[in-house]
Amino acid sequence: MSSPDSSCRSVISSMKRIVVKVGTSSLTYDNGKMNLRFMDHLVRQLSDLKNRGFQVILVTSGAIGIGFPELGFKEKPTYLPYKQASAAVGQGLLMNIYEHLFCEYGHVVGQLLFTKGDAVNSKRYLHMHGTLLSLLELGAIPIINENDAVTADEIKIGDNDTLSAIVASIAEADLLIILSDIEGLYDSDPRKNKNARLIHQVPVFSRDIFRMAGGAGSSQGTGGMYTKIQAAEICVHSGIDMVIAKSTLPEVLERIMDGEDVGTWFKGENVHPQLKKRDIIIGTAVKGKIFVDEGCRSAILNKGSSLLPVGILDTEGDFAEGDTVAVFCGSDEVARGITHYSRVDIDLIKGLHTEQLKGALGAEPPYDTVIHRDNLLVMK
C-alpha cells in the first residue's frame, strides 16, 4: 500500500476493456425506488467512455431492491421465494430504464443473467465468453446481473462484487471499477473511526488487507468491503487492475480513466495470458483426446493458432461440446482446451477445410474452430 502518485495511474487511460459494477445502494433510494438521476449520470458516463473508444461492460445489482416495493413490501423480504419474486419483477424494471437511457445516448445494450456457477462449468463458460466478446465486437454494451429469480445460493451470498470480478476474468478485461457508497479502502472503518485513512493504491495484494474490511454495507445492498476485497483478489491474480470508488463523485468514471487518484487502485499482477486460463481448463476433468498432425502442433505452439479441423488426425474418449480435452501430437501433449464440438462431430470433420464443414455436418457449422485460441492452454 502506498501514497498517491498520479504517474502510476497513467496506465489506466491506455486500457481498452472496462467492467463497471454498480450496487443497489447507488441505484435506489432507501425506500427502494430507483434513483433516476444517478442512473442517468451513470449511463451518460458509460456512453461517453464508449464514445472515446473503450469497450464497456456493466455489472448491475438492484433487481431485488427495486422489485420488493413494487410487490407491496415495506422492506426487503427475508423469505427466499419472496426475494426471488422481487428479483423477477425488479429485473424487468431495471433493464427497461437502462435500455431507455442508453438508447437516448445512442447505444444498444444486451442483457445477460448468469451465476458464479457459469464460470466453473466449462460449457457455460465457453458460451458466456463467446457471447460477451460478440456483443463487444458488434458494438453493444453488455449489462449483466445475477440470475436471482431462480438461483438460491447466489442470493444467500449476495455477492455481485465477486460476480463482477468473475465477469472481468471471463471477458479478459483490463480493469474492473466497483462503484460503491464508500470512497474506497480505508485502514479502519471510517464509520467508526473519524481518523481512518483512505488507501489510494495497493500495488501488491496481501491477505492482510482482509482485516481492514468490515461487514455488510447499506440496508438495501448485501455486499460490504469484504466482498470487494474478494473481488480484488480475483482480479489481481488474473492480471486485472481494479478500482473501488464512490459512485456519487461527479464524473467518477471519466476521472478514473483519466488517471486521477480517485478511490483505491489495486494493481493487477503481471500474469501471462496463458495462466489466466489455467484454473478454468486445468481445474476441469479431461474428458478425451484429440490427435493432431505436426503442422497443427507447430501452429499452436509457435503461432498462437486455434485448433482447426484440418489438422486433426483422430480422437479418443467420450466427450461433448464444452468439455475439456487434451490435444496430442503423437505421444506428446501439446495443449488442453474447451472444445466447440463433440467427439462424434469431430470425427465427421477431421482433416477438412473450413469450406467443407457444412457438407460433412449437414448443416451450417456453429464454429470454424474446434478449440478457439482463447480457450486453449498450451502445455509446453
- Evaluate whether 60 touches 93 at the Cβ level (below 8 Å): no
The sheet that has 332-338: what strands, in order across it?
312-317, 286-292, 324-329, 332-338, 376-378
- Which structural domains are found in the chain, ordered by start? 8-271 (3.40.1160.10), 280-378 (2.30.130.10)
Kindly list the distances between the CA atom of residue 59 and the CA atoms of 106, 199, 243, in Å, as whole numbers in the listed order: 20, 24, 14
Question: pLDDT value at position 111?
Answer: 95
Question: pLDDT value at position 158?
Answer: 44
Instruction: Give the C-alpha separation, 328 to 332, whole Å.
Output: 5
Q: What is the separation, in whole angstroms, between the first and last Cα of the chain? A: 36
**55, β-bridge pairs:** 17
Instruction: Give the C-alpha separation, 289 to 311, whole Å.
Output: 14
Q: What is the DSSP letter of 164?
A: H
Q: Is 21 annotated as a binding residue?
A: yes
Q: Is 227 annotated as a binding residue?
A: yes
Q: Is 263 annotated as a binding residue?
A: no
Q: Which residues of the chain have pLDDT under 50?
A: 3-4, 154-158, 215-223
Question: pLDDT value at position 157?
Answer: 38
Q: Is 160 annotated as a binding residue?
A: yes
Q: Name 244's Cβ contacts closer than 8 Å, sequence gap at least 6.
A: 178, 180, 182, 184, 185, 228, 232, 263, 264, 266
Pairing of β 109-114 and β 241-246: unpaired
**Residue linked to cell 479441423:** 309
Q: Is 228 annotated as a binding residue?
A: yes
**Residues composing the chain:** 380
Q: Is 223 annotated as a binding residue?
A: yes
Q: Is 121 annotated as a binding residue?
A: no
